[in-house]
Amino acid sequence: MFSLLGGIFMGWSLGSNDASNCFGSAVASRMVRFWTAAVLCAFFVLLGALLEGQAGIDTLAGLTQIDLEQAVVITIAAAVTVTLMTVFGLPVSTSQAAVGAILGIGFFNQEINLAGLGKVVACWFGTPIGAVVVCAVLYKLLAYVYNRLPLSVIRADILLRVGLIVAGSYASYALGANNVANTTAVFVGAGTLTVFQAALIGGLSIGFGVLTYSRKVMETVGGKLVRLDPFSALMVILAEGLTVHFFTVVGVPVSTSQAVVGAVLGVGLVRGVNTIKRKTLYGIFTGWFLTPPVACFIALCIDFAIHLRYIPR
Amino acid sequence: MFSFLFKKEQQLETLIYQYLENLTRTQEHFVKAMETCLDEGLCGEFGFLIDQTHKFESKADEIKEEVNVLMYSRALIPESREDIMNLLEQVDSIPRIFELILHLIRTQKLKIPEIIKLDVKDLIRLSVESCELMIKQIDLMMKNRQGIRALMATIDHNESHCDHIERSLMTKVFDSDLDKVDKLQLKELIIALGEISDQADRVSKRVNIMTLKRRV
């Protein structure tokens, strides 16, 4: 049980950070109460993890052969990477941190499933690009329908509000289904947990993070999305959920933050406006390229350090 | 089906329509008071109608306050909240102008001279027509129906016409043999009367922008 703490901590930190990608805009703009959003998000994260978390867990568990000690090293290295990148103010993906750390141990063991790794890296590129396309198509399609709906001002408002709650719940489901692998997949690879146990513990730890520490992030980071109009914010969350869910079916954990950034760019593409500043984009790309090698390096260092032996002269 | 989940929004819709209904009542009493003033001068009936106008103006303030309280208790999405609050704030200037005009006449014991009576009646008729069109425009916006731009064009046209009458009234007053104090008092009244159509025009343009903003 003690060895699982690293994974549980990863899940907790993932939940506290990534809940804002699902309900941030609704909570920050006071459309939905924090506790309503947090309970819905935690419930759907757990549901997603239990119902569709297996594919991602299988992919990460199959990247390399590891033992329990190495599984603990991976979770610690990933958690340290996430903390370090956050301290330096760089947007970070827990999926990239987890895979980077697994790769570090894989290098150490000289055993890496290259086909699996290729699939994961391809999906990392596919996440923001896919979200841009999904959001642009969704926006065009649903804007056409929305503009023709015979709805009063109040009813249109209700529709957008309900839409944000439904889309937020769906994005939470996708978050749980996709990202649960980052927290506990390595323990399945090490033979400590079954897939169901991993999904349950991972889902619960992410949900715990949402319930205990996501408020601040939802109210501040989530506020960034509020600058979009409510319809665009709805499209962004829906596109994020669909993109992340697609990669869940493919079986690769991806970053919900990168999906959100892609979707926001998609809105900008359709409306012909700059939705994200160039400086923010540089930060995102830096985080995107740095996270895997940093996690890999930290995992190697920790593994090397615990294998050091004192030899008296 | 899920209407029980959105009681606040339904309550809000009812309150907005109550507000518009109340504005119509205020306007009716203002018109009656002005007609009485023009035909019979300051009399008991005029006093009664001023009190009635004041009663409806106060009621409008109460409804607006209720709407604001509902908005702050998270009814509607923030963007709509801001739009509706600003809109009601602008519309609310109109009953205030009605009351201001009537009190101006009562406290300054104004007598409207024969030479301008017809023009004043014309100015009131056009201003009130603009207000009615503005209420109709808000109703169309609330129901998401067509015709908002056409109404805005008519209100704009009325406003230009009112400006023309206002200038003509000023010229008539200052060309007359009236006492200087009377002239200044009448100038104040004419400016206040002209403000009605100006404000209706401002509201109408805001409604048009709100409608354009809602399109995605």
Question: DSSP string spanning A37-96?
Answer: HHHHHHHHHHHHHHHH-HHHHHHHHTSS---HHHHHHHHHHHHHHHHHHHHTT----HHH
| Residue A32 clears pLDDT 90, i.e. is over it | no
A273 touches chain B (CB under 8 A): no
User: Is residue A91's pLDDT more than 80?
Assistant: no
How close A146 comes to chain B (CA, Å)? 8
Taking CB atoms within 8 Å and a gap of at least 24, the contacts of B39-47 are B41/B111, B42/B105, B42/B106, B42/B109, B42/B111, B46/B105, B46/B106, B47/B106
Reported as a pLDDT band with limits 50, 70 and 90, residue A194 is very high
Give B145 or A48, the one with higher predicted confidence.
A48
Per-residue confidence at B2, pLDDT binned at 50, 70, 90?
A: low
Instruction: Report pLDDT for B53.
Output: 93
Residues in CB range of B113: below 8 A, 6 or more apart: B176, B178, B182, B186
Chain B residues interacting with chain A (CB cutoff of 8 angstroms): 2, 6, 9-10, 12-13, 74, 76-80, 84, 141-144, 214-216
Q: How far apart are CA A251 and CA A180, in angstroms?
A: 11
Q: At what angle do helices A256-271 and A230-250 cross, to 10 degrees?
A: 130
CA distance B83 to chain A (A): 11
Q: State the smallest CA–CA distance between residue A260 and chain B in angstroms.
A: 20
pLDDT at B79 over 60: yes
Indicate whether B29 pLDDT > 70. yes
Q: Residue B66 carries which DSSP code? A: H
Identify all chain B residues contacting A154, using CB atoms and an 8 Å cutoff: 9-10, 12-13, 76, 142
The answer, for A227 touching chain B at a CB cutoff of 8 Å, is: no
Comparing CB atoms, the residue among A153, A226, A231 nearest residue B141 is A153
Among A221, A217, A233, which residue's Cα sits nearest to residue A266?
A233
Residue with the larger pLDDT of the pair B162 and B43: B162
Average pLDDT over residues A178-194: 94
Q: What is the pLDDT of residue A310?
A: 76
Mean pLDDT of chain B: 92
Reading the block at residue A234, the tokens are 């709805």
Assessment of whether the complete model's pTM goes beyond 0.90: no
Distance CA A255, CA A14 (A): 10
* CA–CA distances in Å: residue A201 to residues A50, A74, A126, A182, B69: 10, 17, 28, 12, 44
- The C-alpha atoms of residue A37 and residue A32 are separated, in whole angstroms, by 6
pLDDT digits (tens, 9 = 90+) for A195-233: 999 999 999 999 999 999 888 878 776 656 546 888 999
Q: Is residue A111 scored above 80 in pLDDT? A: yes
Tell me the chain A residues in contact with residue B142 when contact means C-beta distances shorter than 8 Å. Answer: 152-154
| Each residue's pLDDT tens digit, A145-174 | 998 888 888 888 889 989 999 999 999 999
Q: A230-273, pLDDT tens digit by residue?
A: 899 999 999 999 999 999 999 999 999 889 989 989 998 898 87
Q: Does the pLDDT value for residue B9 go beyond 90?
A: no
Residue of B nearest to A28 (CA): B78
Q: Is the pLDDT of residue A299 over 90?
A: yes
Mean pLDDT computed over B141-159: 93
Q: Is the pLDDT of residue A69 over 80?
A: yes
- The whole-number pLDDT of residue B40 equals 86
d(CA A77, CA A304): 12
d(CA B25, nearest CA chain A) in Å: 24
- Look at residue B73 in the predicted model and tell me its pLDDT: 81
- Terminal Cα-to-Cα distance of chain B (whole angstroms): 26
Mean pLDDT of B2-27: 88
Tell me: pLDDT of B99 over 60. yes
The pLDDT value recorded for residue A223 is: 59
For residue B48, what pLDDT is reported?
92
pLDDT in the model for residue A222: 60
- Which of residues B194 and B44 earns the better pLDDT score? B194
Q: Which pLDDT does position A165 carry in this prediction?
A: 93
Taking the C-alpha atoms of residue A231 and residue A236, their distance in angstroms, rounded to an integer, is 9
Cβ–Cβ gap A143/B216 under 8 Å: yes
Predicted local confidence at residue A224, as pLDDT: 60
pLDDT category, A83, cuts 50, 70, 90?
confident
Q: What is the pLDDT of residue A278?
A: 79
Q: Which of B11, B77, B206 to mutate to test the interface with A (most CBs of A within 10 A)?
A: B77
- Calculate the CA A303 to chain-centre distance: 26
**So what's the pLDDT on residue B4?**
64
pLDDT of residue B146: 86
Summarize the confidence of residues B113-132 as an average pLDDT: 96
pLDDT at B24: 96
Substitution target from A40, A141, A142, A157 for chain B, most B beta carbons within 10 A:
A157
pLDDT in tens, A116-149: 899 999 999 999 999 999 999 999 999 999 988 8
Substitution target from B73, B144, B206, B212 for chain A, most A beta carbons within 10 A: B144
Task: Give the whole-angstrom CA distance, residue B110 versus residue A10.
Answer: 79
User: Which residue would you say has higher pLDDT here, A22 or A223?
Assistant: A22
Q: Verify whether the Cβ–Cβ distance A229 to B79 is below 8 Å.
A: yes
Closest residue by Cα to residue A27 from A219, A220, A224, A259: A219
B36 neighbors B46 (Cβ within 8 angstroms): yes
Q: Are B60 and B52 in contact (CB under 8 A)?
A: no
